[in-house]
Structure 1
């Protein structure tokens, strides 16, 4: 059967057009007059026009940017490849090729390749490559050995630490199956990776490595895909010997740190002794240690604590331990000066600022404290209007004298002190919240004397020596008198203790200050309350006293954790409790704990 040539030609043309329309790249053909003779769908989509409407149009009306290049190709017969152009905001690469029919140029073909999508794909690939490289770096940087296997138990990744722990290079593992490695004798015991693959959860156990003769702790954990299917297993390897060595190093480091703290504490105690500062309790040593640390900086400090606890001493220590020690240490009690005079005292005044002002004016305490320190005691008593001015000093490090207009630059460290809860004052509206935050940079609480009993006897002896020199007398305390002083709660803190010792030195007629005299001058504010004692029969008074004493001691020890607290409850010295326990042959566990804690 013969098919007409016309039909064959028509089918060929349709096939050719179908192939062109299926092509992702745009194809545009022109004749020698630069008129469009063919155009596929991809070109129409690229130009945003119907491809049938473009046929028969001059090239310059369709896409003028190709006009000059395609003219050269028709004239020279030389193709031009990878010419970049921009169409509708898209980056396009164009390849121009001459169109020959019977060895004669009858036109040219332009092929358009959209590289915008390619750029995005390349960018995403670069991002993935970067993330992969980062992951590789993280895995290789791990101190633990890491091995990754797929769902078939085939090793796909090991890190450098794995090589160190097993003694074998990466080639000995990558591409190998876990079971084969066991069969080769590299591992012993059970396959934790295989067990993890079978059971689908994390398993941990010991694994012996033949090449290095080491026992390793191996943890194999499953890795899951987003759909919940298992993607593989990651195993972490840790050397028991290395872990033991690290543990020993940590212990040694802790020992060195503890030894360093003890040495620093001893150095501080020696320095305090040289500076005639009495502090023996752990609580006060901790405060002084912190004070010395913050003294090296210029930060603002807020000292809190009861009246008479020793805030001024701490402030002086901070000043003398700092680089400002050569400057002045100025102290002012904000609650002791009338409001109308406090501003002039703090910030100074100019000539004629108010009635009675000095003719030449006067420098304020902040100016006198320049390059030194100023302690604002009882800061909670500062009037609210002066708090604004103090806030400016802290923020700007500058001030104005009363009646003055010239800015005075300041370089003084502020140490504020109060026996009140400043935050309560803020809530009551008597203290500015912004000033509170400016002052409360480094808060240091000075504990009351009743919370640092180890300081009581050293303070007593210190003040006894001072007043003996002052009054030219020779006095000493009866042991029971010292016990009473140690057991007293000292509501007035160190200030009260100092006054009591001075009074006892003056009023004692002999050389020994007796417990009776001490008891007369101590106004106890904590008295031991006891339940009524019931007597059911006669017995010697001495025996009754012993039984009552033993019962009270046992009651106090049962109620309180330490002998020191028991002594406070019974109203006697700690040393007296220890002696009485020994006399009654009472040796509770708390007794030894007390020595450690105290």
Structure 2
């Protein structure tokens, strides 16, 4: 290169100020010297962090942002890349690339180039929220279709009063506590309320409090931040409260919520805010709460198993769904509804004789509507294509001999799984437990409460074992 050309380049570089060029970038740029003093920042940096240059230039980053990753690069001399990093002092997420400045083998400083991804992060969270809602809708689709768009089957005046009360309070934001035995259809009342409220266009999110382990229920309800605990999903997870924002949150089996968690739930309901596990930021949520239980909460309050203040918060409006034995007028309409549904499902033309209808009405149905629904489906499956059901041989009473046969069969299955199929001992026991639970539910005619008592296990264990199937 000629001397004249070299002199021109030197003069040109002096005329063109590097800071002017960097100020035109949309990316934020900050540089520190070897001691950590901020010696340069462009206009984008000031805009992103919301602090003017005159307030930060010359200050030591150890004071301004003690946890800054830029200081780590300054110490180690190793570049770092992060797609999502929270700047704690301003509460914003950025994507950053940080490099050391090395001259003659010594670290003279470090600089960071970053983009504000807070808006993208919000969009990403909203995407995950909508994806979670979509999953919830998918899980509830079959149940929702089975309600035939809430054309509820009934003839009983007693049940009509329940429906009238549900419709009366539907378009309010009052919390509702639904009481009733297992299988009476508390979730049907919940859907009726939600679908007739001003929140009907928003999500209805269901949480079964009995089916979630104590250690996970807080993160299930409130969500968690990235890295909140070992095994947590990268990027964190939205909780049911956020998924139900502007909609309805249905807390089923509320009596099984751990006592320690009840205080946190009460605080969320009172303040309208939640805090994710591993987070420090309060998040506003707008949800209508509907809770359901088949337990005696008043007795649980006396036994210090349920908080009285939470009870009052939930029980603004109480609805009790009567068992099927107290609304026998609904039995035949329900049978006909389930019969038509299953005839279509299995492409059959099964009918029921008057004698069989009489037997259906005479039975007490301890498992309520759920038991009746399951029995009719089983009846359709086991009856010839165009047959007529003339009697209902309900297995109401189990003889000692049949119980012994059942126990022997379960033990044989355990031995066969372990010895013949060469599965692990744990797997063989898991299969045995599942068979035992199914047998208990069947022997109690679908009444899960009776099955739990018969098995002598907690409700939480019962539902967890069912989920393992």
Q: TM-score, normalised by structure 2?
A: 0.52
d(CA) in 2 for partners of 1:369, 1:510: 44
Residues 296 and 323 in structure 1, CA contact (< 8 A), matched pair in contact too = yes
Aligned to 2:346, which of 443, 451, 471? 471
Q: Which position in structure 1 is the counterpart of 2:396?
A: 523
d(CA) in 2 for partners of 1:343, 1:465: 42
Q: Which position in structure 2 is the counterpart of 1:508?
A: 383
Residues 170 and 194 in structure 2, CA contact (< 8 A), matched pair in contact too = yes
Q: Which position in structure 1 is the counterpart of 2:253?
A: 378
Q: Which position in structure 1 is the counterpart of 2:212?
A: 337
Residues 504 and 513 in structure 1, CA contact (< 8 A), matched pair in contact too = no
d(CA) in 2 for partners of 1:433, 1:274: 36
After superposition, give the CA deviation of every residue in 1:136-190 in whole Å (9 maximum; x if it has no partner).
Answer: xxxxxxxxxxxxxxxxxxxxxxxxxxxxxxxxxxxxxxxxxxxxxxxxxxxxxxx
Q: Which position in structure 2 is the counterpart of 1:325?
A: 200
Residues 302 and 415 in structure 1, CA contact (< 8 A), matched pair in contact too = yes
Residues 481 and 513 in structure 1, CA contact (< 8 A), matched pair in contact too = no
d(CA) in 2 for partners of 1:524, 1:440: 38
**What's the offset of the Cα at 1:385?**
1.2
Q: Which position in structure 2 is the counterpart of 1:432?
A: 307
Residues 478 and 512 in structure 1, CA contact (< 8 A), matched pair in contact too = no
- 1:422 counterpart = 2:320: no
* RCO comparison, higher one (Cα < 8 Å, 6+): 2
- 1:451 counterpart = 2:309: no
d(CA) in 2 for partners of 1:462, 1:315: 20
**What's the offset of the Cα at 1:273?**
8.1
Residue 521 of structure 1: SS of its match in structure 2? Answer: coil
Residues 159 and 322 in structure 2, CA contact (< 8 A), matched pair in contact too = yes
Aligned to 2:154, which of 271, 279, 283? 279
Q: Which position in structure 1 is the counterpart of 2:57?
A: none
d(CA) in 2 for partners of 1:389, 1:336: 19
Superposition map of 1:346-357 within 5 A: 346-357=221-232
d(CA) in 2 for partners of 1:358, 1:322: 34
d(CA) in 1 for partners of 2:241, 2:351: 45
Residues 350 and 389 in structure 2, CA contact (< 8 A), matched pair in contact too = no
Q: Which position in structure 1 is the counterpart of 2:337?
A: 462
- 1:490 counterpart = 2:365: yes
d(CA) in 1 for partners of 2:363, 2:192: 27
Residue 178 of structure 2: SS of its match in structure 1? Answer: strand
Residues 249 and 289 in structure 2, CA contact (< 8 A), matched pair in contact too = yes
Q: Which position in structure 1 is the counterpart of 2:356?
A: 481
Of 505-514 and 458-467, more deviation after overlay is shown by 505-514
**What's the offset of the Cα at 1:274?**
6.6
Aligned to 1:369, which of 244, 247, 250? 244
Superposition map of 1:206-355 within 5 A: 275-355=150-230
d(CA) in 2 for partners of 1:416, 1:275: 19
d(CA) in 1 for partners of 2:150, 2:318: 24
Residues 194 and 200 in structure 2, CA contact (< 8 A), matched pair in contact too = yes
Q: Which position in structure 2 is the counterpart of 1:572?
A: none
Moved over 2 A (4+): 272-276, 509-516
**What's the offset of the Cα at 1:470?**
1.1
**What's the offset of the Cα at 1:399?**
0.8
d(CA) in 2 for partners of 1:371, 1:524: 48
Residues 349 and 385 in structure 2, CA contact (< 8 A), matched pair in contact too = no
d(CA) in 1 for partners of 2:152, 2:166: 14
After superposition, give the CA deviation of every residue in 1:357-399 in whole Å (9 maximum; x if it has no partner).
Answer: 1111111001100111011000000001110111011111111
Residue 215 of structure 2: SS of its match in structure 1? Answer: helix
Q: Which position in structure 2 is the counterpart of 1:391?
A: 266
Residue 155 of structure 2: SS of its match in structure 1? Answer: coil
**What's the offset of the Cα at 1:515?**
3.3
Q: Which position in structure 1 is the counterpart of 2:412?
A: none
Structure having the higher Rg: 1
After superposition, give the CA deviation of every residue in 1:413-462 in whole Å (9 maximum; x if it has no partner).
Answer: 01000000111111111111111111111010000000011111111011
The 1:455–1:368 alpha-carbon spacing in structure 2 relative to 1, beyond 3 Å, is same
After superposition, give the CA deviation of every residue in 1:80-110 in whole Å (9 maximum; x if it has no partner).
Answer: xxxxxxxxxxxxxxxxxxxxxxxxxxxxxxx
Residues 374 and 415 in structure 1, CA contact (< 8 A), matched pair in contact too = yes
Instruction: List runs of 5+ in structure 2 lacking aligned partners.
Output: 1-146, 399-469
**What's the offset of the Cα at 1:513?**
3.6
User: Pairwise CA RMSD of aligned residues?
Assistant: 1.5
Instruction: List runs of 5+ in structure 1 lacking aligned partners.
Output: 1-271, 526-598
**What's the offset of the Cα at 1:522?**
4.5
d(CA) in 2 for partners of 1:350, 1:400: 10
Residues 484 and 515 in structure 1, CA contact (< 8 A), matched pair in contact too = no
Residues 488 and 524 in structure 1, CA contact (< 8 A), matched pair in contact too = no
The 1:522–1:289 alpha-carbon spacing in structure 2 relative to 1, beyond 3 Å, is farther
